Amino acid sequence: MGSFKGHALPGTFFIIMGIWWTLKCIVKYVCRKHKRTSYFGSKAVFYRVDIVEGITIIGMAVIGMLGEQFIVGGPHLSLYNYKEGRWVQLLGWHHTTMYFFFGLFGVMNILCSTIRSLPTSLSKLMFSNALFVEAFIFYNHTHGREILDIFVHQLLVMVIFLAGLAAFMEIFLRANLTVELLRTSFILLQGSWFWQIGFVLYPPSGGPAWDLLDHDNIMFLTICFCWHYAFTFIIIGALYAFVIWLVKTRLNRTCPSEVGLLKNVEREQESEEEM
């Protein structure tokens, strides 16, 4: 990960999964809120989606681990050099461990979708564990580095920890759209901040890296971090609007009699909720 590509790869993974999880939780919310949107998929369909999601996560984790191990200058599965009496590329092993725990999350996602006796909360628990492990690794990742390098990674650790906390809350607050979107916002922020770290420490243009001792750079990145977070909510809002538009478009094609019947069902559900 000690390169621009090394930061862009996990950043891309988290952005892709953040967008996917945002769409997924919004669609599930719409299906729960309006029974007439059940055409989007039954529980069986969502189980299949979770299996595909788990396979995708495992694939991303394997790509990340192989990239960290077998990149030029990587450890190549060697942890300790007995001839020289030193550890081999421990930073690479840090990143490999991070990817490994996300791979375990993908495996648990598949198991919870195929073995109905397993509670789905186990998948959330493994996800939160993967994020907490990632936060722990990056917290111990920057010893002896310059102040700006430490600062950008401290912000990353904070985002990862908050994402893990939100994922942990989902175990107890099931089907809560607010908590789910909070978690996806931190996942998106984590992904975009990985890219920002790459631009700061390893400019892809080949130009000089930022002055790692300049306090003004820290001041700017503080503002930049807030802009990143604001942009994640713009993405979430756009995705929410897209799903609502898709639902309304589909409902406009529903026959009038069916629409009237479904509206009556919704009114009854609303009156029950008010009671």
pLDDT digits (tens, 9 = 90+) for 80-95: 989 888 999 888 899 9
Classify burial at 7, counting beta carbons within 10 Å of its beta carbon; exposed 0-12, middle 13-18, buried 19 or more: buried
Q: What is the dihedral of CA 261, 265, 268, 272, to 10 degrees?
A: 180
Token pair listed for 160: 């990862």
| CA distance linking residue 230 with residue 78, whole number of Å | 42
Residues 230-253: tens digit of each pLDDT: 999 999 999 999 998 887 777 666
- Cα separations in angstroms, 87 against 68, 75, 84, 143: 16, 9, 9, 16
| CA distance linking residue 2 with residue 218, whole number of Å | 20
Within 10 A of 54 (CB to CB), how many other CB atoms are there? Answer: 22
Do residues 147 and 213 touch, judged by C-beta distance below 8 A?
Answer: yes
Nearest to 107, CA basis, from 53, 45, 180: 53
**Parts of the chain with a pLDDT under 70:** 1, 34-43, 251-275
Provide the pLDDT for residue 116: 82
Provide the pLDDT for residue 262: 46
| CA distance linking residue 234 with residue 237, whole number of Å | 5
| CA distance linking residue 101 with residue 126, whole number of Å | 8
Do residues 185 and 229 touch, judged by C-beta distance below 8 A?
Answer: yes
Place of tokens 């421990």: 90
Provide the pLDDT for residue 261: 47
DSSP string for residues in 234-251: HHHHHHHHHHHHHHHHHH
